[in-house]
Each structure stands twice: as structure tokens, then as C-alpha cells.
Structure 1
Amino acid sequence: MKHILLSGILLATLVSGYAQQSDKNNNPVFEGWYADPEGIIFGDQYWIYPTYSAPYEKQVFFDAFSSPDLVHWTKHEKVLDTANVKWAKRAVWAPSIIENGGKYFLFFGANDIQSNEEYGGIGVAVADRPEGPFRDHLGKPLIDKFYNGAQPIDQFVFRDADGTHYLIYGGWKHCNIAKLNEDFTGFIPFDNGETFREVTPENYVEGPFMFIRDGKYYFMWSEGGWTGPDYSVAYAIADSPMGPFKRIGKILQQDMDIATGAGHHSVIKVPEKDRWYIVYHRRPLGETDRNSRETCIEEMHFDEDGLIRPVKITDEGVKSDPLR
């Protein structure tokens, strides 16, 4: 009888523990102040590469996080440090990563340059593994000037269906696209001779991201000011990565019952499934420091016309979704 009773208690405890784990709020997805997250899948792991959210002078490294299921995360500290990028001194922002030829290339902004007279811009680092360590690929910035009015920050590397790689980037309400060469050391001019083509949609501010679904190019960006309540994510759809991109509307913004300043996102598609997640940052209620930003994930859905349904930000986040 005692054995049966103890077994029943143990079973109840296990069931209770499972329920608590299942019902656990999963946003933010990991501890710490992190912003501008790029989510991606390498092998059987989800990865997130965010900006370390702190005063500019302290933004001198990137941490990364990996997970088998979007719920349990492992922190990989300082996968890139400015000690390995001699020209980058501060404001290391918005990493974007891609695997190419067995190497992992991490694009990043540094130094927050305000004019062509300052040194910095967009760089690229390389490693043999997703967790690094990453080393400077060029020994200098890949883009160190303003073109078409775009501040060289908030870079996103995009692989088209034909294998062509593009760098889409830009702050100060301007966005450019440029075609990368094979080893990511420079760019290939477009047929008309230009290297940096402006593709800025209405209300664009920063944080571009692009993906393909059903042959259509979805171009997404952040609007508003990153320190304010109007920060949000909007999108457009086109037949080409060059656009033209006509703004459709916002799909992610703050909820005053949950958090403020929701924006600067990325998107993860689960392989071989029409399942999508949006990874973004937001500011907890009551936090007034501009750097108090945390990384969160929600499911992202489409309607029957292929339009993105508005995303509701939550504390629950997403449930476990193992890749194996």
C-alpha cells in the first residue's frame, strides 16, 4: 500500500512538474539585455545572434545562443570580440550570419559612424563553427561610407533561390541592397554599373530582413524610434529582391499590457514545414533605460492570400519545437 501511495505521489509530482514546465512563460527566451536578434537554423539547432544591449562603449562583443527546441537555450559567450577586429572600437550591432562553403560568416556594424569622415561601418567575420570564435575576414570594413543616404548599419545577408548572396542594410531611413561576391570580400556591380541600389519602402527606418515564401519576396523592416513606443515592424511583398516594395502594413508592435518598443526582428522557417517564427526585442513594462531590451519569440502566420497576420506579443512565447 505504501509503495502504491508513494508511486501515486511521485506520478502526481511528475505530472505537476510537466504541467508547470509546459505552462511556463518562455518570453524572454534567455536572460540578459539583448536586442536586434537574428534567428537561424544550423543543422539540428536553432541559433540566435543578438546585439549586447548596453551603452555604446560597452558594446564590444557578441554572445550567441543555441537551442534544440526554442525553449532550452545554451549561451556561447563572446563568439566575436573587438579584440579580433582591430578597426571596431564600439557600438558593435545587429549581427547577421550565414553558412557558405563550410564557413560561417558574421556580418556586423561597428563604431556608429555619423559621416564619411569617421572610420567604421559594416564588417564581416568568419569562423569554422557557428559558436566561433570569429575572426575579422577583411581587416577593414566591408562598407565604410554612406551611399544613397544609408548609414552603414543593420546589415542582413540574404541568399536568393539561385544561390546569389545580397547584403541588405541601412539606417537613417534609407535601405540599400548590394550583390556580394563569392568569398564575401566585396561586391559585384549590377548591370547598370551601380553597386548600392536603394530599395527604401515607405516609413522605413532600419532593421531590414527578407525571406521567400511561395516564390514571393517578403521584405520587412522596423519603423519608429528604437527608444520609443512607436517602434514596430512592417513589411512589403515583391516578385524580386530588388522590389519595388510597396508597404502593406505593420505586423508587430508594442502591447501596453505586455511590453513596449517591440521591433528589430528576424524570421525563422522550420525546414520542410510551413511553420514560421518571428524573433524580436522589446522593453519590459516599467523599464525606462533605453538599453533594457530582451529577446522574445512568437509564432508568425499567413492568411489565405499570403499576407502576414498581425503578431500578438505574449509572455508565453512559443512551445517546444525540436528539430530532431
Structure 2
Amino acid sequence: MMKFFKKLAPAVALALCFGIGGCGDTSFSVKLGYNDGTLPNEDGTLFYREYDESLFYRNDLTLKKVADPSVIYVEEGEYAGKLFLYGTSNTLSVRGIGVWQSDDGVHWDSYGVAFEPETASWGYSSLWAPEVIYDGAGKYYMTYSARNSNTIAAGGKYYGNTYIGLAVSDSPAGPFVQWTGTNADGAEIGLGDPIFDPAKITAVDGVACEAGHYARYRFLDSSLFADGDELYMYFSRGKDRYNVLTPGDDYAYGKETSEIWGVKMKDFSTPDYSTVTRLTKVGYNTVDGETEADYNDIDRERASADQINEAPQMYKRDGVYYLTYSVGGTTSNFYSVAQALGSSPLGPFTKLSKADGGLVLGTEMNWIQAAGTGHHSFTPIGDELFIFHHEGADRYTIDSENRAIAYDRAGMAENSKGQKVLAANGPTSYSLQPLPAAISGYKNIAPEAEVSVSGLKEGSDKKWLTDGFFASHLTGVVGETEFDAGTTAEISLRWKEYRTVGALLLYNSIDYDKTFYRIARISLSVRTASGATGTAVADNAAFPFDETTNYSSQQLMFAGSNLVLDFNDIEVNGITITFRAPRSEGSVAVGDICVLGK
């Protein structure tokens, strides 16, 4: 990480002592010295410049040939304050699960192989999609998917199919070992046995089925979810490995599908097979298939030859269960994260339209900065929530052999129906974003300010300025604050007390036609260490269009495009932002304001 990033500060002390009313004057105005958070490249290029790593991160996609990330933030013990990532690893030829450690979510150090099955294990090849959960009592449990290519294990009972396994470790760094022993049902689980045996499914949704019927299907992409004292496992019920459609199972558009199922667990190693429940139906909002799902004008669930709902994760907030999952094929540019809402861990769940927040994270047509942003991991870091995901390492296409890891902020937003839904600030690419507050020590204090505006467009709302979200799509639950064109607009933020502030980020509109070109003036009400008060002013701060514009389609900007002012800490109790909207018609929009402070 960069140790010596030079910042610029207001020359407050000099201004007081050399010519602004003399040292006895308690009111002053000085020029605010700042930079944009980056250092120029020697070759003059704009992208991937060095930046202030004490406050910001940028998704430079440095961790490549890794996919399907599971990320945990360790809060106690030897690795407190560290991030650990587990993923499908091409460098291990998918015969083992890799583990990496990071302090900031961008720069990752390999800790080698977290889990590699013994040669007698049932799951000896195609190890995919690990998910790690901490039990709060010193144990880390990893579920994973693997293909049984071992004809010897369990007498070849599970040969040739994909199943779910369980491994355990005393450390987030590993090593993990395959769980074996006697489960809660009294069954002996050996190296030759997966933790979930589909042959034992005798009913789905409470409807009986022939014993062994689902043994021919693939089961993968599992994740565990603790709901108080109860434990659940979610997974993708994949396709029939023989590719033979069974009447009643080819749900969507005459094609075989992959869908999300769930089961209650008696403990980490014992599924309660009587509770197996189908949670999604591809292409439809509910499993009853009455209403077709519609995320946008490109139906992401039908964007691939494969009809897929996969990689589920559960999140709970205020009694609502948020089933999040990936839609479309993993090699599709439109591989995305979607959500469905329910009132219990096993549903029923209802998918949301894009307008209502159904699309949590995804790309748009003609984007050149991100592709295939799916298979996610929701990771709490301190008091904030983040979404880690993989995407195409070259940003333009998604290749199953070369994916990379990125992450963005997430949280709860409210849709027009009054529902609280998960939303993500991204996918971001070349723009700087604030580090997690638990890592940098600085949080966004803009939501704590009293906000006033002038020049607001009729029908617009100032609430979008400090809600902590910026719009990443033209349609969705996150809005922007619009100002009348041809006017001078002003935004004022005031805090009841002076706050220590180190940076300001102004997010532009996602809509190219509503972007602002420059900020006429940014004025900070400041206080010096001696108690003198005055203003620090920055004039004519230009927005960096060359680094933030999707030139292949100028309808949309890069998600998270912003103007950054980075300076040494100063005491601030107010910020006034003045900008002109030069267009003669339409409006100019601001996506969000972030003030990094303490």
C-alpha cells in the first residue's frame, strides 16, 4: 500500500499570519489546496494512476484467475481486521480452493491452498464456489461444490455427478479438512460421502417424489445462513447430468433449468431432507409460474442459452429475508445479481422488477468498463455492507478462464412501493471509492448534515444527495437530485458541530445528458487549531470526463463517476457547493455527495 501520498491543505496558518486581516482577525478566506486523490502517470495516461490508499480504493482487478468469491471480515483473534477471500481457482486447476488475505479488498496476498481433498475423497475434481461461515465459537465451515471423478470412493456410489461437500478449519487462513464423522441423524459420513445426498430427497415443497429421483441432478453453489439458532443451506439445483428432461421439471420455455433450492439444517453436517424447498423458478417471479420476471428490456434470465438461477446468498434485515442469486450464464456479459423477498428462510419468495430493485448488481448494453458481474458475496465490514463479485478480467467480456475480483458498497434502499431492498453502488471500475470506514477510520458524514438547496427542479428531491447511494442504471430504486438548466444551483450541508474532514466526493449523474461539467465553487466553513474561523474555497473544479465516460454509448456514464477533492484534515461545520447548469433546457443531476470525516 502507498505510504507517502502527498496531500494539499488550506494555507490557513499562513493566511492568518501573513496578510489576511493579521493574526488577530478571526475571520478569513483562503484558497483550498487539494488534489483529485491520484498522482499523474509518467507516460501521461489517465487510468490506473497511483492514488491515496489511506482513504480510497479502486477496482483495478488485480486478483485474476479467481472466481465465485466468498469473503469474510475477521473481527477477532490473530487476524482481526483482515479480509479473507476463498474462490474457484484456475491456477489450482480447480482441484483445490485457494485463499487470499487483504487489508483493503484490492491488494491480495495469497495464503496458498485453503482446502485440497484427499485422494480418497468423493470430490476430487472441479472444486467450485466455496462459501465460508464462522460459527462464533472458533470454527470456520466451508461448503463447496465438486465433481466426483473417483470411482473408488464409496464404491463409486456418487461417481460422475456434482455434489456439495463440507470442510472445517480452526483458522480463516486454513487449512480446511473435509468433515467426517457421525451426523445428527446417526449416519457415518466418510471421505467418500458428500454432505448433501440428493438420493435422500423424498419430497420437495412437501410433495413426495420417488426415492432417488434427484440423484441424477447436479447440486452446487451452496451457502450457509444462520438465522438465530437455526441454520439453513441454499444451493442451485442444476441440470440433469444425463440431459434428459423429466416431465414437470423443464419449467422455463421448454428448456431445462437451474434454480435455487433451500433446506433447513439440523447442524452444519446434517440436512433435514424433509424440508427441501424450491425457492425460484427461472423466468418467473414466483415458483407458481404465474408472472414472468422482467429485470429490464434485456431479460437477463434469458440472455444465455442456459436458463439459470444460481449462487444464492441469504440476507436478513428487520424480519425480511432477501434471497440474492445470479441470473444468466456465467459466460454472459449480463451475468448479474438479482433478489427476491420473503418472510421466512424457505419462502415463498417473490422476485422484484428492475424498477422495484430486482437488479442488485449488473451491467448494461455497450458498457466497456465491466462485464459479467455476478456470483457475489455479501460481506459486513464494521457497520457497512459490501458486495464482492467476479467479473471479466479485461472488463469487456467474461471468460470463464480469466475472471477477476471486485467489490462495491451495498445497503438498504426503499422502492416506490415502500419496500426496503438491497442496493449496490456499482459495479464501479476506474473511479475512486471510499474505503470501508472500519479500515480507513473515515466515514461518510454527509447523511448527518442538514441539507438545503436552491435551483431544484420541480418534482425532484434533495434526499438523493445524502442517501449514500448513486444511480448505476437509468431504471431502479436509486434516484438523483435534479436542478433546473440555465440556473446557478447551490447545495449547502451544515453540521451542528465541527467535524474533522479529509475528502469530498461529488458523484455525477449516470445519465450523460444530465451531467455537470464543473463546480463553480466549493466553500468549506473551517476552524483552525487556534479557534479562528473562516472559509477555504476551491473554484472551477472540472469533472474528469475522459476517465468516466462510456464513449461507446454516451447515454450512460461509468457507474460511480465522481469528482474527488482530497486534502489534509481540517475542521469543518459547513460545505457549500455552487455550480452552474449551462444547458438551456432539461436538467442537471447530482448522484450523491460523500464527505469523508470523523
**Structure 1 residue 165 corresponds to structure 2 residue 269:** no
Structure 2 residue 89 is matched with structure 1 residue 63: no
Q: Distance in 1 between matches of 2:83 and 2:278?
A: 32
Q: Deviations over 1:44-103 (max 9, x none)?
A: 22222111146xx92011112223343443321101113477222211011111122321
Which residue number in structure 1 is paired with residue 222 of structure 2? 155
Aligned to 2:395: 285
Amino acid at match of 1:258: Q
Q: Look up the match of 2:421.
A: 307
Give 1:201 deviation, angstroms.
4.5
Separation in structure 1 between the aligned mates of residue 264 and residue 6 of structure 2, nearest angstrom = 54
Larger-Rg structure: 2
C-alpha offsets along residues 257-303 of structure 1, whole Å, 9 cap, x if unaligned? 212111111111234x2x22111111123556432111110111322
- Identify which range, 30-39 or 115-124, moves more after superposition: 115-124
Structure 2 residue matching 1:70: 3-state secondary structure:
coil
| CA distance in 1 between partners of 2:313 and 2:363 (Å) | 19
In structure 1, C-alpha distance between the alignment counterparts of 2:143 and 2:432, rounded to whole Å: 27
Distance in 1, Cα, partners of 2:223 & 2:413: 26
Q: Distance in 2 between matches of 1:95 and 1:264?
A: 11
Letter paired with 1:151: R
Q: Percent identity?
A: 25
Distance verdict in 2 for CA 1:40–1:295, change over 3 Å = same
Give the match for residue 270 of structure 2. Answer: 186
| Matching of residue 142 in structure 1 with residue 257 in structure 2 | no
Report the alpha carbon displacement of residue 116 of structure 1 after superposing the two structures with TM.
Answer: 6.6
Task: Between 28-37 and 98-107, report the one with greater CA deviation.
Answer: 28-37
Unaligned runs of at least 5 residues, structure 2: 9-34, 39-49, 76-80, 150-156, 181-190, 205-213, 239-257, 284-307, 353-357, 440-598
Structure-2 residue corresponding to 1:111: 147
Contact 1:48–1:66 (Cα < 8 Å) also in 2: yes
Following TM superposition, by how much is the alpha carbon of 1:312 offset from its aligned partner in structure 2, in angstroms?
Answer: 2.5
Shift of 1:233: 1.1
Normalised TM-score (structure 2): 0.46
- In the alignment, is the contact (CA less than 8 A) between 2:70 and 2:86 conserved in 1? yes
Query: Aligned match of 1:124 in 146, 154, 166?
Result: 166
Whether the 8 Å CA contact 2:333–2:372 is kept in 1: the answer is yes
The question of 1:52 aligning with 2:82 is answered no
Report the CA distance between 1:244 and its aligned residue: 0.9
Change over 3 Å in CA distance of 1:188–1:207 after alignment to 2: same
- Structure 1 counterpart of 2:438: 323
The answer for the alignment partner of 2:347 in structure 1 is: 243
Question: Is contact 1:122–1:155 with CA below 8 Å preserved after alignment?
Answer: yes
Is structure 2 residue 291 aligned with structure 1 residue 177? no
**In the alignment, which residue of structure 2 is the partner of 1:4?**
none
Residue 37 of structure 1: which of 60, 69, 92 is its match?
A: 69
Q: 1: CA distance between counterparts of 2:264 and 2:311?
A: 18
- The root-mean-square deviation of aligned C-alpha atoms, in Å, is 2.9
| TM superposition shift of 1:311 | 4.2
Given residue 280 of structure 2, which amino acid in structure 1 is its aligned partner?
T
Residue 6 of structure 2 is aligned to residue 14 of structure 1? yes
Offset from partner CA, 1:178-198 (integer Å, 9 cap, x none): 22223x222235xxxx14222
2:5–2:52 CA contact under 8 A, matched in 1: no
Change (3 A) 1:218 1:143: same
Whole-angstrom CA distance in 2 between matches of 1:86 and 1:225: 29
Distance (whole Å) between structure 1 residues aligned to residue 158 and residue 121 of structure 2: 19
TM score, norm. by length of structure 1: 0.82
State the distance in 2 between where 1:105 and 1:84 align: 21
Please give the secondary structure, in 2, of the residue aligned with 1:323. helix
Secondary structure of the corresponding residue to residue 95 of structure 1: strand
Aligned length: 302
Q: Structure 1 stretches of 5 or more lacking a match? A: 1-11
Alignment match, 2:59:
27
